[in-house]
Copies of this chain bind each other. A is one copy, B any other.
Amino acid sequence: MPDDGRSFVLTLGCPDRTGIVAAISGFIADIGGWITEAAYHSDQTSGWFFTRQAVRADSVELSIEEVRERFARVVDDQLGPESEWQLSDTSAPKTAVLLVSKDSHCLTDLLARVERGELPARIPAVIGNHRDLESLTTRFGIPFHHVPFPAGDPGGKAAAFAQVRALVDSYNPDAIVLARFMQILPADLCEAWAGRAINIHHSFLPSFIGARPYHQAFDRGVKLIGATCHYVTADLDAGPIIEQDVGRINHDQTPADMVRQGRDIETLVLSRGVRWHLEDRVLVHGRKTVVFA
């Protein structure tokens, strides 16, 4: 039976106790499931258990709805009501909407990855608060929506965010990616998009929160610069971190050099974070993540 690559992916978090793995793997064995990837994590601090399992879809004779229904009973009977889980089918296409401003590097990178099939998503729309990236976006065959954000006009900004929200929500996306959007989401949007809005911050958080982090880094004289991909929460740059990376700099580098070098770090960190999110590899618990990369 050749593998067509289609999988059912189960992710679950629940209070830890003995027998959980046996319950889950027993269930998968019962439905004939062939596990191709399995990852577990017992968090000693929180006392929670997390897992992600990929099962070849063609090894299971049930529909995904039937699998869900049966697994719900396992959860009820053996894992407890606090459990959080989902079961997805990798052949069901996901959707990501991108929010951008003027910097093109993350946008180009994500569009190119989707085009060459590296990210399991389609991009139905890119929304920009400036028109700078319209041509780049449409060049890849993606619709671009321009929503201007009036500077220094709180009412106008609220209206702009309402327009962005309506646009985004019309696609019901699995991910809303702030690809160097440079606008701080209002609290109601952070809540509405909780666990789906992903930001790239151009520093190694928690260092250099807020504006112009490369200039902050230059002033402090650090020897490495970084970038952080995180879920957006109402607390600025403090959401659960998905991925981070750094690059070495030295005294020769000006803030402008850091901006250039930093682009490559931001691009990689964001693309990894977005991919892991879309592949259901990121489980959020409190203000932290479990990443089964």
Residues of A within 8 A of B (CB): 3, 17-19, 21-26, 28-30, 32-45, 50, 59, 104-105, 108-109, 112, 115-116, 118, 139-140, 204-208, 218, 220-224, 226, 240-246, 250-252, 254, 260, 263-264, 268, 287-291, 293
A-B contact pairs, 9 of them (CB 8 A): A18-B35, A18-B59, A41-B251, A109-B112, A204-B204, A204-B207, A205-B222, A220-B241, A222-B244
* Residue of B22, B105, B254 touching A22 (CB-CB under 8 A): B22
* Residue of B21, B42, B240, B245 touching A29 (CB-CB under 8 A): B21
**A224, chain B: closest CB distance, angstroms:** 5
**A48, chain B: closest CB distance, angstroms:** 11
A244 touches B260 (CB 8 A): no
The residues of B that contact A45 with a CB separation of less than 8 Å are 218, 254
**A290, chain B: closest CB distance, angstroms:** 4
B207 touches A224 (CB 8 A): no
Q: Given A21-B28, A104-B112 in contact, is the A240-B254 Cβ separation under 8 Å?
A: no
The residues of B that contact A242 with a CB separation of less than 8 Å are 223
**A180, chain B: closest CB distance, angstroms:** 12
The residues of B that contact A260 with a CB separation of less than 8 Å are 118
Q: How far is the CA of A21 from the CA of B21 in the complex (A)?
A: 8
The residues of B that contact A289 with a CB separation of less than 8 Å are 221, 251
The residues of B that contact A109 with a CB separation of less than 8 Å are 112
Q: Which residue of B lies closest to A254 (CB)?
A: B44
* Residue of B32, B42, B112, B291 touching A35 (CB-CB under 8 A): B42
Q: Given A22-B25, A40-B38 in contact, is the A223-B207 Cβ separation under 8 Å?
A: no
